[in-house]
């Protein structure tokens, strides 16, 4: 089996990408980051997903992006809730500057040390939140950087960046994961969970997740803080808007 690096956040997207990579025959080396994020509960989810995928190894890298701040996930800035303009053109305050560039750079180093020619990342450009480092054109440019900046690339063995979810809707991602046996109860998406890890149900990431499960016709296994009847109304509205 060929070795591949998987950036594993603990969310449903990266869990699905991991299952897709395994279906393609890759032996996975998982890389997660403790970067000072307020939703640190995702790291426990990443460990569970890594165990479920039976990865070759799971490396947790610590980077303190709170030293820079500037984002709701790494600074004392409120996470926006109950936004009416999901998918708008304005870059939201939950965008962490250069985060995917930092993560992919570490993944390149990890890939070279493991002899891996492939890196998998779960970015998505359809149900995404306006992040500039989730776009196909960004990934194409990073692919070029990987060719120029690594020994593997210089020697003609370029490391490929795979983003199989980039043009999929959240519902399509969930249906794919269900087909591959992904246990989404292990995953978390909330930007602002409580101390017990319960999802807020109101941030943009939670709403996109809820809508994805509703559109896919799949029961949402997420543990939310909000009343179940409110969540049912959100999911019903999502279905009616299809």
H or E element that contains 118: strand 118-120
For residue range 26-37, what is the model confidence (pLDDT) as tens digits?
999 999 999 999
CATH 3.40.50.620 given to domain 2-188: yes
pTM of the model as a whole: 0.91
Backbone angles phi, psi at 109, to 5 degrees: -60, -40
Mean pLDDT of the chain: 91
DSSP string, 7-21: E--SSHHHHHHHHHH
* pLDDT category of residue 230 using cuts at 50, 70 and 90: low
- The dihedral sign for the CA sequence 138, 98, 35, 11: negative
Q: Answer yes or no: is pLDDT of 231 > 70.
A: no
Over range 194-198, report the average pLDDT: 91
Of 44-48, 98-102, 152-156, least confident by mean pLDDT is: 152-156
**Rounded CA separation 59/5 (Å):** 10
Calpha distance 233→211 (Å, rounded): 11
pLDDT at 176: 98
User: Residue 83: pLDDT above 80?
Assistant: no
């Amino acid at each position: 089996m060929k070795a591949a690096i998987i950036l594993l956040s603990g969310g449903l997207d990266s869990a699905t990408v991991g299952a897709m990579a395994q279906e393609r025959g890759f032996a996975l080396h998982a890389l997660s980051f403790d970067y000072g994020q307020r939703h640190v509960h995702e790291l426990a989810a990443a460990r569970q997903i890594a165990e479920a995928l039976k990865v070759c190894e799971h490396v947790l890298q610590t980077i303190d992006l709170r030293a820079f701040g500037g984002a709701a996930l790494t600074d004392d800035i409120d996470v926006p809730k109950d936004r009416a303009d999901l998918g708008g053109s304005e870059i939201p305050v939950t965008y962490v500057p250069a985060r995917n560039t930092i993560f992919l750079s570490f993944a390149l180093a990890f890939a070279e040390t493991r002899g891996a020619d492939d890196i998998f990342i779960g970015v998505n450009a359809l149900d995404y939140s306006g992040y500039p480092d989730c776009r196909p054109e960004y990934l194409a440019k990073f692919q070029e950087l990987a060719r120029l900046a690594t020994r593997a690339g210089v020697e003609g063995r370029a490391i490929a960046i795979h983003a199989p979810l980039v043009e999929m809707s959240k519902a399509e991602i969930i249906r794919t994961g269900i087909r591959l046996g992904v246990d989404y109860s292990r995953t978390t998406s909330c930007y602002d969970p409580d101390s017990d890890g319960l999802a807020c149900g109101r941030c943009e990431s939670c709403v996109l997740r809820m809508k994805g499960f509703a559109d896919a016709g799949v029961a949402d296994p997420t543990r939310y803080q909000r009343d179940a009847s409110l969540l049912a109304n959100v999911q019903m509205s999502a279905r009616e808007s299809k």
